[in-house]
Amino acid sequence: MPAPYDAFLLVSFGGPEKHEDVIPFLENVLRGKNVPRERMLEVAEHYYHFDGQSPINRQCEALLEALRADFAASGLNLPIYWGNRNWHPMLAETIEKMRADGVRNVIALATSAYGSYSGCRQYREDLDRACAAMPGAPAIHKLRPFSEHPGFVEAAAARVREALAQLPGAEVIYTAHSVPLSMSQSSPYLEQLRAVCNKVHRASGAGDGEPTLVFQSRSGPPGQPWLDPDVGDFIRHSSAQRLIVVPIGFLSDHMEVLYDLDTEAADIARERGIEFLRAGTVGTHPAFVSAIREMVESAIASGGVATCPPDCCKAPQRPPARPQ
């Protein structure tokens, strides 16, 4: 029987709203992770560059508004809620509100299109933890990563076409968040990224050959292997005269797009004399908004089959400790 979902929950990463929020926010993000404090303070400076305010919350609000309009126009009568992993509105706050509203069964979407421990399973673990700490919390079922949904591909391809119209003849490359090699090996992250890059590259008319995929925003200790090449290193050695960078790994223009690409990568391109343009993210593109509604409808019709299986995106295995 179809799952009787009575609410939709958008689960996002969260971001600080003001200068004094930045360090507490980053401490939430990095709790339990092996990230040097120097790196945290370096990232804090990125936020201070924008007066401590991340754009991600405003972008979530815009997506929520678009979803409410699309759900209503399509006759999908589900109230919509929003909770974040790392900053307000926190998941615990939102789950408490849903419980008070009498919500019992929730279908949730994380703002991460690809399967990996940090992009999928960690969202599930945070949801489970918040629900376990609250007697009477609703049951929450998370939708699977959706990178190859036709609506997501079409929205991303549309953004590439828009960029090519502004900078015709440019070389087009794709960038995503770097993750440790151990994480990419325990998840479909890299495979899904490559598949989507191929689809978007062809659908946008950017080319028929194998598209270039680079990475950005790594945060681990220097000795830990992460996915590369880095977008900055690629630009430093590029022979292109015109370059479009497509942030295929991100849904909205948040800090890792505005600073790491629009500021750092753009500066490197300028130093090299390369005309540089960063393509837009899918954001609230109608094809992407409709894709989310279609995923919810599919989960309802399938009785929850479209949600994450229990064993998805396992945590990467830590290497055995060396004897002292």
- Assess whether 113 and 170 both reside in one domain: no
Question: DSSP code of 222?
Answer: T
C-alpha dist (Å) from residue 290 to 16, 126, 160? 29, 26, 19
- Assess whether 60 and 167 both reside in one domain: no
- Assess whether 126 and 189 both reside in one domain: no
Rounded-to-integer distance, Cα 130 and Cα 11, Å? 12
Per-residue pLDDT tens for 220-229?
788 899 999 9
The beta strands (E) that lie in the chain are given as 7-12, 80-84, 105-110, 139-142, 171-177, 212-216, 242-246, 275-278
Mean residue pLDDT of the chain comes to: 93
Q: Is the pLDDT of residue 316 over 90?
A: no
- Asked if 217 and 259 touch (Cβ cutoff 8 Å), the reply is no
Per the domain annotation, does 313 fall within a domain? Answer: no
- Assess whether 155 and 219 both reside in one domain: yes
C-alpha dist (Å) from residue 64 to 21, 61, 68, 232? 23, 5, 6, 33
- Assess whether 33 and 80 both reside in one domain: yes
Total-model pTM: 0.93
- Asked if 148 and 195 touch (Cβ cutoff 8 Å), the reply is yes
Per the domain annotation, does 236 fall within a domain? Answer: yes
- Assess whether 86 and 203 both reside in one domain: no
Q: Say what the pLDDT of residue 198 is.
A: 98
Q: Is the pLDDT of residue 305 over 80?
A: no
Locate all alpha helices (DSSP H) within 133-228, ordered by sequence: 150-166, 181-185, 189-203
Per-residue pLDDT tens for 216-264?
999 878 889 999 999 999 999 999 999 999 999 999 999 999 999 999 9
- Assess whether 116 and 170 both reside in one domain: no
| β-sheet with 139-142: strand ranges across | 80-84, 7-12, 105-110, 139-142
Per the domain annotation, does 317 fall within a domain? Answer: no
Per the domain annotation, does 216 fall within a domain? Answer: yes
Residue 267's domain is classified under what CATH number?
Answer: 3.40.50.1400
Amino acid 266 reads: A
Domain that holds residue 269: 150-278
- Assess whether 135 and 211 both reside in one domain: no
Per the domain annotation, does 36 fall within a domain? Answer: yes
Per-residue pLDDT tens for 173-197?
999 999 999 999 999 999 999 999 9
Amino acid 261 reads: L
- Assess whether 126 and 158 both reside in one domain: no
C-alpha gyration radius of the chain:
20
- Assess whether 158 and 124 both reside in one domain: no
Q: Label residue 310 by pLDDT band (50, 70, 90).
A: confident
SS3 for 121-149 is: HHHHHHHHHHHHCCCCCCEEEEECCCCCC
- Assess whether 19 and 142 both reside in one domain: yes
- Assess whether 163 and 45 both reside in one domain: no
Amino acid 151 reads: G
**Residue at token pair 């008070």:** 100
Structural domains in the chain (count) = 2
